[in-house]
Structure 1
Amino acid sequence: MQGQTSYSSGMDKYVAASSSSRPTIIQLPDYALQQFADSGTIIPTSACIEASGFDTDPILPRALGAYSLEGVLWGMPFNVSNPVLYYNRNMFTDAGLDPDDPPVSLEEWRDAALAIVDSGVSVNPVVLDSSPNAGGGWFIEQWFGRAGELYANNGNGRLARATEVLYDNDLGAELMTFLQDMINDGLAMTVGDNAGGQDNFLKLVDPATPGAMTIGTSAAMGTVLQALGSGIAPGLTEEDFDVGPMPGPGPEPGVQVGGASLWIVADKPDEQTAAAWDFVKYAVEAQTQSTWAAATGYVPMRADATELDPLAETYVTDPRFRVAYDQVLSGSDDITANAPALGPLRAVRAETARATAAIFGGADVEATLADAVVADNALIASYDERN
């Protein structure tokens, strides 16, 4: 087993490696889906399921759908996550807000930020970022899915190969204008590209000008709570922070499935492939998923894991861990609830993130989105020509 510093590093090494030096299993997120399906280097998980009679009934249908193309499951969902709202309960109370009733819609999010500023509790009520894997890319896809709108054509690439992205439409302009207005009105600030995925959380415990709210992956919950418990922020404990659904368009929560899956690499000796499938089956057993989710903040990819300790007890004693799971259950079954399947999705997110950063800095929303869409569609066309 060899750990990587990031999913991006793992993907780059996999693509550059020869077939003989590739691992037998690799763990990568949704942006690998179309590329792996086109590569001929991955054994479809569907084939393993059919050959072994593996029971998929307990697995969350939306988790299976996240890694499926045209009815073929390519990767086995393992560490499921989605964005949630992290917020300071004390600041909510001091601002006259109910800490047990966090904002769910974008309008409620803005109202909460305004109350925090007007009460003098914080000058940074909302902490944003423009990371491709968060506020500059992934979150935008999430908001499109929640609004029931396609981010890319051909059913987000799930019905046929996507040829263009669509985020320069009215919804995209409304979302970006909303965020830009939040910054311009002093209701939000940005920590930039947030490459390490920590800067937004660190701003919440900034001793000088702490933020009150930020959106981050549920996968960080275990780490965040552990850090608070260790005394990283004097005067604050893990009980001072809470977790709510990701604010977004409309009054009801709902998210696309994030995280990563396990992919079995082709052209390995039969005994290695069989051992790889045995490991995947172990990794997605109900007890394994219960233990994993309770320790991290990831969502179990199968419903029966929630009935087993330690996760069953954790969901009762610390409901913060259940928020992300409930968001998956409350999400739509519409095709827009699946993330876009694009061969160059990682590069597309990077381009979208550059546009987001520019908009946060005051750039014209519609013109910036239009330019980004042109660049992203060129990336898609180039990929399709090669594949």
Structure 2
Amino acid sequence: MVVDGGAFQDLNYFIDKDPEFKATLDDFWPRFIQANTYEQGLLGFPLNCSTPLMYINRDLFRQAGLDPDNPPKTWNEVYAAAKQIKTLGEDIFGYRFGVDDWLLEAYIWQFGGQIISEDGREMLIYSPETVAAWNFFQKGVREGIFIFGVSGGNELDLSGRIAMVVRSTGSLGYLKQNAKFDLGATTMPGQVKEVVPIGGANVFMFSARPQAEKEAAWEFLKFLTSTENTKRWSLATGYMTSRISAFESPEIQKIMTDDPRFALTYQQLRDSAVRRPWYGPYPEVHAMITSAWEDAMSNPTKDVDAILKNLHKEAQYVLDDYYF
């Protein structure tokens, strides 16, 4: 809504007046710039961006007779591994998931489904592909090899009872510091498609502020997104660098040489990362999607087809009310 309402300043206005900065624009990761470009122009710069990674408990893999150096690459492989890991005990689960909004988008896309049309005016979520995705995860819960919950994720992930979980790039440092088991990481599984959402945060400038304030804000944005500062931010938080030059710095390269798990998110950024839906009423629509997902996964015998069909209809009312 803030984008549709023109709340954010088109940064091209300042870029075009600042040739020195403009010459460095290609130094930003291209997919981050694409993710901040709208009909109104380039509205933001990346700050602490991430992609989701799959973290694995290598100890559980070994105990189940699986190779932790060859983790699942598709959701079918995740299911097969989870089923084998479940034989270790009733309180052991192959995969944990919840209501993380960006991961729900990823599941739909990875199974070949779509959520909303390119112009944001038409719901596309009710499809055989999305039904298949939701049925897949519901089946895992119903069989007891996946575990679904809306809270307590950190505790479960550190308990040693979860073999696989998908979390942010920014979780790698936290899990390394706190896990008492052999922690592995790999790219997020695909299925029909290999695609992941770009998460994290970007920085914007409000268009309605006085010109003097916007000029000052521009100087701050340049400072914040400089190579040195995006490098420092990444080193301190574990999130991705905004600029390629920061990624190529000796400090960042050393981290990835010492621990290749930190390089995985950049692999995804280059190969499969996309912008999340953003259209005017999408926050309301996504809240409806999340609620329907929670209903289906908390009650794993419910009819996914009926849930998605009703969700599609109700969400389309929201779009129609917003645009027409």
TM-score in terms of structure 2 length: 0.90
Q: Where does residue 165 of structure 2 map in the other structure?
A: 214
Shift of 1:38: 1.7
The 1:127/1:222 distance shift into structure 2, 3 A limit, reads same
* Structure 1 unpaired stretches of 5+: 1-34
Q: Where does residue 291 of structure 1 map in the other structure?
A: 232
> Does 2:204 match 1:263?
yes
The 1:47/1:142 distance shift into structure 2, 3 A limit, reads farther
Query: 2:240 aligns to what SS in structure 1?
Result: coil
C-alpha contact 1:104 1:253 (8 A) present in aligned 2: no
Q: Where does residue 98 of structure 2 map in the other structure?
A: 129
Q: Where does residue 186 of structure 2 map in the other structure?
A: 244
Pairs aligned (count): 319
Shift of 1:43: 0.7
C-alpha contact 2:94 2:145 (8 A) present in aligned 1: yes
Shift of 1:286: 2.0
> Does 2:144 match 1:186?
yes
Q: 1:63 is matched by which residue type in structure 2?
A: F
> Does 2:315 match 1:376?
yes
Q: How much is the aligned-residue C-alpha RMSD, in angstroms?
A: 2.2
Shift of 1:383: 2.6
> Does 2:109 match 1:142?
no
Q: Where does residue 22 of structure 1 map in the other structure?
A: none
Query: 1:167 aligns to what SS in structure 2?
Result: coil
Q: Where does residue 59 of structure 2 map in the other structure?
A: 90
C-alpha contact 2:111 2:130 (8 A) present in aligned 1: no
C-alpha contact 1:123 1:186 (8 A) present in aligned 2: no
Equivalent of residue 351 in structure 1, options 276, 288, 292: 288
Shift of 1:119: 4.2
> Does 2:15 match 1:49?
yes
Q: What whole-Å deviation, never above 9, does each CA across 1:213-252 have from its counterpart, x for those lacking one?
A: 11112122233333x1xxxx6xx16xx21221112324x7
Identity of aligned residues (%): 26
CA distance, structure 2, for counterparts of residue 381 and residue 107 of structure 1: 37
Which stretch has the larger CA shift, 357-366 or 269-278?
A: 269-278
CA distance, structure 2, for counterparts of residue 339 and residue 173 of structure 1: 20
Shift of 1:76: 1.3
Q: What whole-Å deviation, never above 9, does each CA across 1:316-342 have from its counterpart, x for those lacking one?
A: 11122221111111117xxxx432232
Which stretch has the larger CA shift, 74-83 or 144-153?
A: 144-153
Q: 2:78 is matched by which residue type in structure 1?
A: W
Q: 2:318 is matched by which residue type in structure 1?
A: L
Q: Where does residue 245 of structure 2 map in the other structure?
A: 304
Shift of 1:120: 4.1
Q: What whole-Å deviation, never above 9, does each CA across 1:355-384 have from its counterpart, x for those lacking one?
A: 111111122101101111122222222232
> Does 2:47 match 1:105?
no
Query: 1:314 aligns to what SS in structure 2?
Result: helix
Equivalent of residue 115 in structure 2, options 126, 135, 151: 151
Shift of 1:351: 0.8
The 1:224/1:276 distance shift into structure 2, 3 A limit, reads farther
Which stretch has the larger CA shift, 178-187 or 62-71?
A: 62-71
C-alpha contact 1:84 1:243 (8 A) present in aligned 2: yes
C-alpha contact 1:145 1:338 (8 A) present in aligned 2: no
Q: What whole-Å deviation, never above 9, does each CA across 1:177-224 have from its counterpart, x for those lacking one?
A: 0001111112101122x3xxxx223202237xx222111121222333
Q: Where does residue 83 of structure 2 map in the other structure?
A: 114
What is the correspondence of 1:25-104 to structure 2 with a 5 Å cutoff? 35-53=1-19, 54=22, 55-70=24-39, 72-104=41-73
Shift of 1:254: 3.3
